[in-house]
Copies of this chain bind each other. A is one copy, B any other.
Amino acid sequence: MNKINLTTQRKAILDIIQQSHDHPTAAEVIERLREQGRQFAYGTVYNSLRYLTDMGLIRELKLGEAASRYDARTDEHQHIVCRRCGRVDEVLTDIPAAWLEAVARETGYAIDRAQAVVEGVCAECRNSGK
């Protein structure tokens, strides 16, 4: 059951996200589709992004910007955003379990997961702009 139904549109959108390494927004997905000569209805892109997210094929990132970004990496990991150029990179070092346990003790919550957005300046920006 729960078979994944990858229509032409959904497959094209999934491909874009899997081939991009900069966590594109919905608007950027539409732009890249157009570069490939494809064009789907606005709503179809949003529907597909939600479908792919629900099916666990991609992840929706809410990093505090106006628009959500999408990531082909679906394993638990965090993100770091450059304050200067806005680029978003993966953070694969896990948040310490001991911290989550301390938070559970402090708050009385049963914790499912933690989403961290680290802010800083990327190596490239530091070298160029000073």
Contact = CB atoms under 8 A, between A and B. Distances in A.
A103 to B, nearest CB: 5
Contacts of A123: 108-109
Interface residues of A, number: 37
A78 B118 CA distance: 12
Interface stretch (A20-28, A35-43, A44-52, A89-97): A89-97
| A interface secondary structure, majority | mixed
B114 A109 contact: no
Given A93-B99, A99-B93, A99-B95, A119 B108 contact: no
Contacts of A82: 109
Given A99-B99, A103-B91, A115-B119, A80 B109 contact: yes
**Copies of this polypeptide in the complex:** 2
Contacts of A126: 110
A83 B93 CA distance: 25
14 contacts: A64-B115, A78-B103, A80-B103, A80-B111, A82-B109, A91-B106, A92-B106, A99-B99, A100-B118, A103-B118, A110-B126, A111-B119, A112-B121, A114-B117
Interface of A: 62, 64, 78, 80, 82-83, 89, 91-93, 95-96, 98-100, 102-104, 106-123, 126
